[in-house]
């Protein structure tokens, strides 16, 4: 059941009034540095499972009186209607009326196991991928397409690929790549850096920018404007921004799992 347009306006007005009262009470009651109460966070499923959940553990260790409600969904939700204080989104920048910060451009890695490469050879160009077994993510928009460019100043060009496995679960595809089933293209945050350092996965075509869409996608942390009046929401947002870092910590290793330092240009890639 969904609210009518009139009901949504009424709900938004009532919610804003409640948030104003909560914010005023919070400032009066908690002028010390402690943060307490409930903060609702919405995040994509895999990103939330692999990273945000771990950061929340650190957050609550710092603020033991803070409660978190973490909702994981790949659906594009309306934070106002769903009552979310913070929404973490991956996608193109849109004028949504929400206030927030771009954490980073989403980077992708093309990877396979050394065993697969020993049997089938290492692709040297994106065109070579047509002759390889490619493991494809298939979501609500259909099967994933792979895009490549030499420089972030150029446009992406797509390459038609195929292979023995498609799945709507990216972790299934990572496991298949590690088992030697083929080559996979996924966001860099999907991979454990230890897999590269220990030689269980190898990065491919490292001189190319890679994507699963023709346009850059950003990882964004967003909130409705009225939620940011709350000190606890501001503190949680600041914690997540600082903990993820810029560039994000999952992008701070090279194809061998070694720590790297980003130049300003590289950080924008």
**Could you report the per-residue pLDDT of 111-163, keeping only the tens digit for each?**
999 999 999 999 999 999 999 999 999 988 889 999 999 988 899 999 999 99
What's the chain's average pLDDT? 86
Question: DSSP letters of 51-104?
Answer: IIHHHHHHHHHH-TTEEEEEEE-SS---HHHHT-SEEEEEE-----S-EEEEEE
What tokens appear for 14 in the block?
A: 């009532």
Residues facing 43 on adjacent strands: 72
Whether 66 contacts 263, CB under 8 Å: no
Residues facing 190 on adjacent strands: none
CATH 3.90.1150.10 holds for 5-106+217-251: no
Query: pTM of the full predicted structure?
Result: 0.81
Decide if 5-106+217-251 and 108-215 have a common fold. yes
Instruction: Decide which of 13 and 100 is more confident.
Output: 100
What tokens appear for 138 in the block?
A: 């298939």
How far, in Å, CA of 121 to CA of 118, rounded? 6
DSSP one-letter code for 116: H
The answer to whether the bond into 247 is cis (omega within 30° of 0) is yes
Position of tokens 């993510």? 137
Position of tokens 């595809």? 173
Mean pLDDT on 51-80 = 94
29-33, 69-73, 217-221, 236-240: least confidently modelled range:
29-33
**Could you report the per-residue pLDDT of 162-181, keeping only the tens digit for each?**
999 999 999 999 999 999 99
Mean pLDDT on 196-211 = 96
- Measuring CA to CA, which residue among 46, 72, 52, 54 is closest to residue 173? 46
Residue 246 — very low, low, confident or very high, per pLDDT cuts 50/70/90? confident
Indicate the domain borders of the chain.
Answer: 5-106+217-251, 108-215
Residue 15 has pLDDT above 70, yes or no: no
pLDDT of residue 169: 95
Residue 213 — very low, low, confident or very high, per pLDDT cuts 50/70/90? very high
58-62, 90-94, 95-99, 220-224: least confidently modelled range:
95-99
Position of tokens 């928009």? 141
Give me the CATH topology for the region 108-215. D-Maltodextrin-Binding Protein; domain 2 (3.40.190)
What tokens appear for 75 in the block?
A: 């659906």
Whether 35 contacts 67, CB under 8 Å: no
């Amino acid at each position: 059941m969904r609210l009518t347009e009139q009901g949504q306006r009424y709900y938004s007005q009532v919610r804003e009034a409640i948030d104003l009262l909560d914010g005023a009470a919070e400032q009066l009651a908690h002028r010390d540095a402690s943060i307490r109460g409930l903060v609702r966070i919405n995040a994509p499923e895999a990103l939330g499972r692999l990273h945000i959940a771990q950061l929340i553990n650190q957050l609550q260790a710092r603020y033991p009186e803070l409660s978190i409600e973490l909702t994981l969904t790949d659906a594009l939700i309306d934070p106002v209607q769903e009552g979310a204080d913070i929404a973490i989104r991956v996608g193109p920048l849109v004028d949504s009326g929400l206030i927030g910060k771009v954490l980073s451009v989403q980077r992708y890695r093309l990877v396979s196991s050394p065993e697969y490469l020993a049997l089938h050879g290492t692709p040297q160009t994106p065109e070579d991928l047509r002759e390889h077994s490619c493991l494809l993510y298939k979501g609500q928009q259909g099967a994933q397409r792979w895009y490549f460019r030499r420089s972030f100043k150029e446009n992406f060009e797509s390459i038609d690929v195929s292979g023995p496995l498609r799945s709507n679960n990216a972790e299934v595809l990572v496991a298949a790549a590690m088992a030697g089933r083929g080559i996979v293209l996924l966001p860099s945050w999907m991979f454990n850096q230890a897999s590269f350092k220990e030689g269980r996965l190898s990065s491919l075509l490292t001189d190319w920018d890679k994507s699963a869409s023709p346009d850059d996608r950003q990882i964004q942390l967003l909130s409705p404007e009225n939620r940011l009046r709350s000190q606890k929401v501001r503190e949680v947002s600041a914690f997540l921004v600082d903990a993820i870092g810029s560039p994000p910590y999952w992008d701070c290793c090279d194809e061998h799992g070694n720590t790297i330092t980003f130049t300003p240009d590289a950080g924008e890639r």
